[in-house]
Amino acid sequence: MNKSRPPAGVEPKGPSAAERGRGTLILLEGLLLGDNQLVVLHSQLGGVAGLEGTVQHLLGHSVLHLALDGADAIPSLTSFDRVILLMPSLDRLGTHLIDIMSWVSAGGSLMLAMTPDNSSYLQVIASKLGIDSAGYDYVKAESIVPSEDFMLGGGERYEFSDPFDSSLSVSLRETAHVWAKTGDAGTPLIWSNDCGSGRTVVCNIGIYDKVMRGFYAAAISLLGDATAYPVINSAVFYLDEFHSPVP
């Protein structure tokens, strides 16, 4: 459950993994300066900062443990139930990627939240992600059609306002469960795959605007048996020099 947000300009210091028990490890392709300033490194796709903010909004600060100083800073995965990768290229993980996949096979849950680059590292673990083959080209995601059992509003087609070639061209194995796809070509956008005693989830959307938070929240829910997050269908307006929020 996401916790209440702090006042503007105040970023809470979350407890350590040992203090909070098993939680979520989020690996960013970049460096964090201060509390919330992300500098993206070695990324050919934009939006890492936006997606990082989306995941923090959904999960809350107290469940995040960020490995920010390279692959060698990755802590022991025994303290975590879920790992979320916010990086299109898996190459920077090096041999740690094998460790992560071994942890998944033993019962962990892994999510690739960004459209992955088709590299030799992706090809090594492709079968565990439910990928049969992947091209080197990207296809246009003009819309998204979530399955009816994936989220509220499933079965309907939702158009993207500014579509572009954002999704990797992939063919999936029969073991993969597709939860969302494009409306025209049926390109898989969100899918899961059982891997040993664990599970992998891949988001192949490649669009990270705030309006996509519902889809990423639903994808995160696939990592466990149950996920709760607040949805408040309201807005708050502030009047200039008026010190109380007016709903």
Question: Could you count the other beta carbons within 10 Å of the beta carbon of residue 173?
Answer: 15
Tell me 1's DSSP state.
-
Quote the Cα angle for 156-180-44, to 5°: 125
Which residue did the predictor score with more confidence, 22 or 158?
Answer: 158
Predicted confidence at residue 102, as pLDDT, reads 95
Say what the pLDDT of residue 235 is.
62
pLDDT of residue 79: 75
Report the pLDDT value the prediction gives residue 234, as an integer from 0 to 100: 64
**d(C-alpha 167, C-alpha 165), whole Å:** 6
Closest-CA residue to 185 (of 132, 137, 223): 137
Q: What is the pLDDT of residue 134?
A: 95
pLDDT at position 38 is: 26
- Averaged over 170-186, what is the pLDDT? 96
Evaluate whether 29 touches 86 at the Cβ level (below 8 Å).
yes
Structure-model confidence comparison of residues 25 and 166, the more confident one: 166
What percentage of the chain reaches a pLDDT higher than 90? 40
Residue 105 has pLDDT above 80, yes or no: yes
Q: How far apart (Å, rounded) are the C-alpha atoms in residues 115 and 167?
A: 6
pLDDT one-digit tens code per residue, 106-139: 999 999 988 999 999 999 999 999 999 999 999 9
User: Looking at the whole model, is its pTM more than 0.75?
Assistant: no
Provide the 3-class DSSP secondary structure of residue 247. coil
Confidence band of 224 (pLDDT split at 50, 70, 90): confident
Residue 67 pLDDT grade (very low, low, confident, very high; cuts 50, 70, 90): very low
| 173 contact partners, CB below 8 Å, separation of at least 6 | 127, 130, 131, 132, 193
Mean pLDDT of the chain: 74
